[in-house]
């Protein structure tokens, strides 16, 4: 689960960061039929700050506590992969519930693109109202375009992230790095470590206990 080592998750929508909605409307919406975009900044000490352009979805999702079981922010995923789909990360126990919650808001074929900069990891999450699964392939085939949009939004939002966090000091992205511009870890090694992690959680029955150290903040007041 994402709570395996994740110390805090803070969700910020346009009520706190108006620029996230403006950027989405002017630069992202409808490109490749994208209807949802969120930018997640993860620190080296496993704190996550989410800027989401979908306020109603983010409010509902957080209030229901589903972030705790959504492996979009699982270190095992973002530390080993350069992209992955939402469905690949869900805990099987909650997969149907999470999928249904996102589908209710028209968020289908969610795909995450990973960007690493300094000590931070950036996750660019996109989804579409279209249910056709080919959209995930289309997203990946346009990975560099999505990464460029994500980099642009990140650079524009760094000041807002720093203002609404407890000590972020974010570097700017000066040079664009194309998709897969690095050595990919051995897939077999990744699959083995993932299975071990899942087995450890299930056998130890830690789904409830591991959440006690997580502080989920959802504060959309201006």
CATH at 34: 3.30.450.80
Give the Cα separation of 129 and 68 in Å (integer).
24
* Total tally of structural domains belonging to the chain: 1
Q: Which domain holds residue 204?
A: 8-210
Query: Hey, which of 4-13, 37-46, 68-77 has the most confident mean pLDDT?
Result: 37-46
| 67/175: higher pLDDT | 175
Contacts of 118 (CB under 8 A, 6+ apart): 171
pLDDT exceeds 80 at position 203: no
219 found inside a domain:
no
In a domain, 127, yes or no: yes
The answer to whether residue 39 sits within a structural domain is yes
Q: What's the pLDDT score for residue 1?
A: 43
Question: Would you state the pLDDT for residue 181?
Answer: 62
Cα 145 to Cα 38: distance, rounded to the nearest angstrom: 16
**pLDDT, tens digit, for every residue of 49-68?**
999 998 888 888 877 777 77
220 in a structural domain? no
Q: Which of 90-99, 168-177, 184-193 has the highest mean pLDDT?
A: 168-177
| Residue given tokens 């994208």 in the structure block | 34
CA distances, 221 to each of 17, 18, 61 (Å): 10, 12, 17
133-146 average pLDDT score: 93
What pLDDT is stored for residue 25 in this prediction?
94
Task: Report how far residue 150's alpha carbon sits from residue 106's, in angstroms, rounded to the nearest whole number.
Answer: 21
Q: Is the dihedral of CA 159, 175, 139, 28 positive or negative?
A: positive
Q: Is residue 189 part of a domain?
A: yes
């Amino acid at each position: 689960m994402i709570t395996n080592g994740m110390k805090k998750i803070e969700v910020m929508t346009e009520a706190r960061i108006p620029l996230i909605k403006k950027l989405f409307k002017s630069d992202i919406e409808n490109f490749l039929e994208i209807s949802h975009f969120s930018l997640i900044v993860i620190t080296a000490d496993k704190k996550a700050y989410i800027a989401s352009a979908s306020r109603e979805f983010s409010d509902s999702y957080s209030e229901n506590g589903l972030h705790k079981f959504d492996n979009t922010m699982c270190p095992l995923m973002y530390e080993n992969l350069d992209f992955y789909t939402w469905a690949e990360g869900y805990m099987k126990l909650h997969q149907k519930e999470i999928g249904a919650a996102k589908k209710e808001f028209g968020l289908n074929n969610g795909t995450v693109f990973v960007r690493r900069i300094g000590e931070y990891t950036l996750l660019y999450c996109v989804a579409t109202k279209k249910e056709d699964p080919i959209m995930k392939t289309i997203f990946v085939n346009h990975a560099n375009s999505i990464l460029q949009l994500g980099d642009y939004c990140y650079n524009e939002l760094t000041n807002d992230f720093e203002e609404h966090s407890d000590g972020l000091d974010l570097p700017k992205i000066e040079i664009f790095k194309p998709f897969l511009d690095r050595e990919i870890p051995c897939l077999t090694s990744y699959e083995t470590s993932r299975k071990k992690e899942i087995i450890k959680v299930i056998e130890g029955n830690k789904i409830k206990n591991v959440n006690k150290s997580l502080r989920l903040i959802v504060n959309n007041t201006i």
